Structure 1
Amino acid sequence: MTQPEKIRCDACPVMCYIAPGQTGACDRYANDAGRIIRTDPVVFLSKTLAGGGRVVPFAARDWDGDPFPDDAQITGIGSGTTYPDYKPAPFIIASEVDGAEMVTVVTEAIFSYCGVKVKIDTDRFLGPEGATVRAGEEAIGHVTTAEYGSQMLSLGGVHHLTGGEKSEGRVTCAALLALCNGEAVELVIDQGSAVTVQAGRAPIVDGRVENRMRVGCGSATIGMFADQWQGLVDEVVVVDDHITGVVSEHQAGKVLGWADTGIKILGRRSTPGRYFRVSEPGLGWGGTQVSDPLEILGPWNAKKGARAGLRLLMVSTTGEEFAYYELDEALTPQSKPIPDALMPSVKLIDENCEPSLCSVLFMGGAGGSLRAGVTQNPVRLTRSVQARQTRLTSGGAECYVWPGGGITFMVDVLRLPAGAFGYVPTPALVAPLEFTLSRAEYLALGGHAGAIKSLAEMMRDGGEYPTEAKLVPHTGGLG
């Protein structure tokens, strides 16, 4: 009995043999009656449609064939890939914009050289700089430098995708794909915390949902709100892992005429009213290990203004933690109920804190041979992108292109339509790219002139992914 014949798909380096009616290992290409076709529709964007720019998928089951709006823009989502890259990109579309002849080249690029940069808005200590970040048991990245009110992670990259054991590459690829498609991923940081990350959502640190990022460091908080406290309290300390602020010593307090209080902070004094290292980083007040803020205070000095009855407010950089004290006859702070008059200032700190969110930026190097799908002289494309003659977008979203050599770009994954990213089991991520430039400049780059189509021609002819469609006996293989 003759076995059904498989077709070899050359859309990625895995080169699956796909049986009739089945998809390859990536679920992106299928054997449809002897042709390799894409399983996802090409996605268009339009800003004029109802919903303020909703996504319009071409060839989706609910598309009724009505003409597309004039401002419809083709994206690389669902377009297919240029692999093996001697071929022109799947779609090279001519258009006219304000009387200018333009060309948009779209592709789904295969990225082994890629990763994500994760910004986590929290004061909580996630782990030491350089610590390994794991998904399950596998290392997929590391903690990088902390920025203002945020902890940063660098995940992925070619060494994790392809430089380790197969399991490390698979887990890294799966984590990157989930993050890029807006899904939640549980991460564990060596010598640090467990954190659940999801683009556009609050991080969950050691099982606790973070609510807000700090309004600023302790010094900045003093500078912003010193006048709110004047006359209501004698001393304010804003506890912070990075820079703890003391209003009586701070320049903001001095300008307001704040009297000395004889306070002593157990930390490394920087400039007046600013202290470093009052505690090690942690999950307590202001990202410190402090649970009792009095831990950071030394003996009060009567010769420098300390006195019985002196009023002290201690507060964190988010306003989530606060406490009020008065000095007794022995100049020891005694906890008291916070006066009603002080609560608005604490709430003002809280009000000025933005919601705590996770941001995920995909970062890739659009180099190698994928550029050959755009032009027969790839370095000209690189130079054109760097010179901003060619506009680079990803799924219609604006990209930041790094200066220097190559086409290294970043894009906020939330600016792309849902499900815009895919993968191939090499392992590598697949991301949509669009290169838009004038037709004259495209031809000057050595572009594939014979592959240019109008949008009408594309709509009429379709664009199944070209393949050699090699037929092989049904004897096994991927897919």
Structure 2
Amino acid sequence: MLNDAPSGASAGASPAPADKIRCDACPVMCYIKDGATGACDRYANHAGELVRVDPHVVLERTVSHGGQIVPFQKVGDWDGNLVGKDKVFVTAIGAGTTYPDYKPAPFIVSSQVDGVDMVTVVTEGIFSYCGVKVKIDTDRYLGPETALVRAQGEAVGHVMTSEYGSQMLSLGGVHHLTGGSKKEGRVTCDALMDLSNGKAVELTIDGGATVVVQAGQQPIVNGVKEERMRVGCGSATIGMFAKQWLGKVDEVVVVDDHITGVLSEHQAGKLLDIPDTGIKMKGRRSTPGRYFQVADPGTGWGGTNISDPLSILGPFDAKEAKAGLRMLMVSTTGEHSAYFELDDALKPVQKDLPPELQQSVERIQENCEPALCTVLFMGGAGGSLRAGVTDNPVRLTRSVKDALTNVTSGGAPVYVWPGGGITFMVDVTQMPQGAFGYVPTPALVAPIEFTMRLSDYAALGGHMDHVQPLSSLKDTTEVLRQGPPAAAGGAKGAGQP
């Protein structure tokens, strides 16, 4: 189907030409000619009728898989009748929007659950106030906190904090979508939609790395696919594996860009009666056996910028060190390791790693979580969106805070932040594929559903005269059911709605 540019798309423009129809699904208000779609590719002119290009999606609840993420599959040879009504959850995917917001939500669907009259109000929200939080599980240094993150050269977000082997990016937000240049807004919108729909996006970090991010996949940092995140900081690694090193080695240094651990000084080593070795570390000593800032961050050993682990050591103390002292140096992922023995001058000399120590390095690797990208869509359901649910929007907010109303996004569970408004966050891998769209204002279009007792819906001032039964959803509805757990690298997943 052809795409039609949004000519004459400002509010209050003259009526549509005879060969075009006006779409009112978003503020752009495209004029669309027959056989073409609007600028968002979501609405089209079909023989003079405005139609939604994508089908409205409902989910069939199947036997629980114990909370596992499982793939959504299309129901084969569907006859247009809904499957068992008690197993159906109506999503907002493909439902349409409420713009210009005073209109009731496109679907306000009643059903019975365990004998209780329920209602689900669904709408595709237009989110200018939205973004994604990206959690990247890797030992690799990506860039300094607060550094700009760019896509196609445009600023789309910034680096947040590092959380125990995971590095966080905050992308999007209203200032990048609407507060900069048109190109910045368009690129930001494209990046957010691609990430939310499970596609790969290449990002560059000022003063840092280039990283390819894709929800549910390993990050690719500077062209190299990451394998694992750290098992813990250097101190934690000492605590976990100290007993396994007892008697096999005299000293262990676990290199980490945050906290480097030293076995003989660490409390775990003291409790095992490991004697002092005379080792001298560079960096800032914190508590015994724990050192900060032994090197700058980077892509080398343990997330530091070093390639030679001996560069973080000073001369051994001759009063405590002895020739033949055995020392293992290892990173927090086990990716890097080296074995040394002190010569007569108390200088470390590298030797082959003994098999018993090779096993401990492999044990560190075994205990590391796989490197992974997690994408969480985050948006604020503002006053305008809530008007599609009730004529008194604040009551919906209070109902959500009081746990009378359950919020989902594409059938997936969400986390609703405390405080004002309905600010929610959802793991995009738990949503059906292609759940997100856009409008060229620019803004993202995301599904949101509110489910509550029918009596509670009436009490909050809901649009009761627009409630319709499940049986009314036939003509443009697509049913997805959850199949067996996906194999690694298989279909996009979704959680039990």
Normalising by structure 1, report the TM-score. 0.93
User: What letter corresponds to residue 17 of structure 1 in structure 2?
Assistant: Y
Question: Which of 455, 458, 461 is matched with 1:443 structurally?
Answer: 458
2:414 equivalent to 1:399: yes
2:389 aligned partner: 374
Per-residue deviation, residues 258-302 of structure 1 (Å, max 9, x unmatched):
111010110100010000000000000000011000000001012
Q: Following superposition of structure 1 onto structure 2, how do residues 128-139 of structure 1 map, counting pairs within 5 Å?
A: 128-139=144-155
Partners of 2:40 and 2:445 lie apart in 1 by 10
Partners of 2:265 and 2:398 lie apart in 1 by 53
2:204 aligned partner: 188
Question: Which of 270, 273, 279 is matched with 1:257 structurally?
Answer: 273
2:492 aligned partner: none
User: What letter corresponds to residue 227 of structure 1 in structure 2?
Assistant: K
Question: Which of 57, 74, 83 is matched with 2:90 structurally?
Answer: 74
2:370 aligned partner: 355
My pick for the range that moved more, 240-249 or 62-71, is 62-71
Q: Does the 8 Å contact 1:197/1:203 carry over to 2?
A: yes
Q: Does the 8 Å contact 2:255/2:301 carry over to 1?
A: yes
My pick for the range that moved more, 382-391 or 305-314, is 382-391
2:256 aligned partner: 240
Over the aligned positions, Cα root-mean-square deviation in angstroms equals 1.8
Question: Which of 421, 424, 436 is matched with 1:409 structurally?
Answer: 424
Question: Which of 446, 449, 453 is matched with 1:434 structurally?
Answer: 449
Q: Does the 8 Å contact 1:43/1:56 carry over to 2?
A: no
2:25 equivalent to 1:11: yes
Per-residue deviation, residues 348-397 of structure 1 (Å, max 9, x unmatched):
00000111011100000011301000000000101111121110000000
Normalising by structure 2, report the TM-score. 0.90
Partners of 2:357 and 2:59 lie apart in 1 by 51
1:202 aligned partner: 218
Question: Which of 120, 123, 134 is matched with 1:118 structurally?
Answer: 134
Q: Does the 8 Å contact 1:47/1:53 carry over to 2?
A: no
Per-residue deviation, residues 425-448 of structure 1 (Å, max 9, x unmatched):
000000000000000100111000
CA separation of 1:410 and 1:187: change in aligned 2, threshold 3 A: same
Q: Following superposition of structure 1 onto structure 2, how do residues 420-431 of structure 1 map, counting pairs within 5 Å?
A: 420-431=435-446
Instruction: Find the residue that maps to 1:80 and give its secondary structure.
Output: coil
Instruction: Tell me the percent identity.
Output: 69
Question: Which of 98, 108, 117 is matched with 1:101 structurally?
Answer: 117
Shift of 1:67: 3.7
User: What letter corresponds to residue 398 of structure 2 in structure 1?
Assistant: R
2:195 aligned partner: 179
Partners of 1:36 and 1:57 lie apart in 2 by 26
Partners of 2:341 and 2:245 lie apart in 1 by 15
Shift of 1:123: 1.6
Shift of 1:57: 6.3
Q: Does the 8 Å contact 1:218/1:244 carry over to 2?
A: yes
Instruction: Find the residue that maps to 1:225 and give its secondary structure.
Output: helix
User: What letter corresponds to residue 279 of structure 1 in structure 2?
Assistant: A
Partners of 2:264 and 2:425 lie apart in 1 by 44
CA separation of 1:184 and 1:452: change in aligned 2, threshold 3 A: same
Instruction: Find the residue that maps to 2:29 and give its secondary structure.
Output: coil
Instruction: Find the residue that maps to 2:455 and give its secondary structure.
Output: helix
Q: Does the 8 Å contact 1:234/1:310 carry over to 2?
A: yes
Q: Which runs of 5+ in 1 are unaligned?
A: 464-479
User: What letter corresponds to residue 420 of structure 2 in structure 1?
Assistant: G
2:236 aligned partner: 220
Partners of 1:307 and 1:121 lie apart in 2 by 40
Aligned residue pairs total 458
User: What letter corresponds to residue 443 of structure 2 in structure 1?
Assistant: A
Per-residue deviation, residues 295-339 of structure 1 (Å, max 9, x unmatched):
000010122x21000000000000010000000011100000011
Shift of 1:31: 1.4
User: What letter corresponds to residue 376 of structure 2 in structure 1?
Assistant: L
My pick for the range that moved more, 41-50 or 216-225, is 41-50
